[in-house]
Amino acid sequence: MNRNDLSVYFIMGTSNSKQPLETLEKALQAGITCFQIREKGEGCLKGAAYEAFAKECQNLCRAYNVPFIVNDDVDLALKLDADGIHVGQDDLAITEFRAQANGKIIGVSVHDEQELHHAVKSGADYVGIGPIYQTKSKSNAKPPAGVNFLQKARSLYPQFPIVGIGGINEKNAAEVRSAGADGVAVISVICESSDINKTIRALSGEK
Ligand code: 3NM
């Protein structure tokens, strides 16, 4: 995968925004480089409604030529012919997705060196490292880890695509990039922004 695609990686589900499709389109116009649909939490869409919403998100991403990644759901990712999948520590999902969708992107969340080595060996295309800072968007998130492990991961794998996640905002994004991340993955800072253009410029390191 192209490391630049991780630069400003937007993640969203219907619980994160009152007008998710409008938010996604604004974010695409403003220059996000990757999108992940992550439909989790109370009242989240299921079945056909989820699939229809995912399809609308995918169509928007296609119009802007931005990779469309599905969180956790291998069946949906295959059915929609998504550009990739993002999984936690789920080896079966990696194997299954790779077997059926060779050439597509597989992202894996990792939290320590063992998980990092394992993800790289298992054929992940990128890893997500987090939560770097305190996040309110993931109910079962681990405690904030800061940038130390991110720095370590970069020194161990100088060329491997890495994105930082968790509590990243306009102010701290630069620290995450300097620590070695190719980009920042965010939910709330975009969903809650009153000026998505400005937020995305700041996240990407532009003034
Ligand atoms: N995964 P926000 S933190 C989806 O640490 C997710 O693996 C995390 O949302 C991890 O930008 C997180 O609002 C939530 O903090 C990120």
Q: Which of 90, 42, 44, 85 is nearest to 67 (CA)?
A: 85
**Pocket test residue of 11, 12, 15 for ligand 1, highest count of atoms within 8 A of CB:** 11
Q: Which of 7, 17, 26, 38 is catalytic?
A: 38
In the residue annotation, 138 being an active-site residue is answered as yes
Alpha-carbon span 100 to 97, nearest angstrom: 5
Q: Which of 164, 159, 196 is nearest to 178 (CA)?
A: 164
Alpha-carbon span 36 to 69, nearest angstrom: 4
Alpha helices in the chain (DSSP H): 20-30, 47-63, 74-80, 91-100, 113-122, 148-156, 173-178, 188-191, 196-203
Instruction: List average pLDDT for each run of 10 residues in the chain, which is 207 residues long.
Output: 97 97 98 98 94 98 98 96 94 88 94 96 96 95 95 98 98 98 98 98 89
Establish how many alpha carbons lie within 13 A of residue 178's alpha carbon, considering only the half-sphere containing its beta carbon.
Answer: 6
Residues near ligand 1 (Cβ within 6 A): 11, 109, 128, 130-131, 135, 137-138, 141, 165-168, 186-189
pLDDT above 90 as % of the chain: 89
Contact 43, 15 (CB under 8 A): yes
Q: Given this model, what pLDDT does residue 107 score?
A: 97
In the residue annotation, 38 being an active-site residue is answered as yes
Task: Render pLDDT for 132-141 as a digit per residue (tens, 0 to 9).
Answer: 999 999 988 8
Q: How far is the CA of 98 from the centre of ligand 1 (A)?
A: 25
Task: Render pLDDT for 106-145 as a digit per residue (tens, 0 to 9).
Answer: 999 999 999 999 999 999 999 999 999 999 999 888 999 9
Q: Whose CA is nearest to atom 3 of ligand 1?
A: 166
CATH label of the domain that carries residue 161: 3.20.20.70
Helix/strand/coil for 31: coil
Q: Given this model, what pLDDT does residue 102 score?
A: 86
In this structure, which amino acid lies at residue 154?
Answer: R
Boundaries of domain holding 104: 3-203
Alpha-carbon span 197 to 207, nearest angstrom: 11
Q: How far is the CA of 20 from the centre of ligand 1 (A)?
A: 17
Domains: count for the chain: 1
Strand partners, 120: none
**Pocket test residue of 71, 138, 139, 172 for ligand 1, highest count of atoms within 8 A of CB:** 138
Helix/strand/coil for 8: strand
Q: How far is the CA of 186 from the centre of ligand 1 (A)?
A: 7
Q: How far is the CA of 129 from the centre of ligand 1 (A)?
A: 9
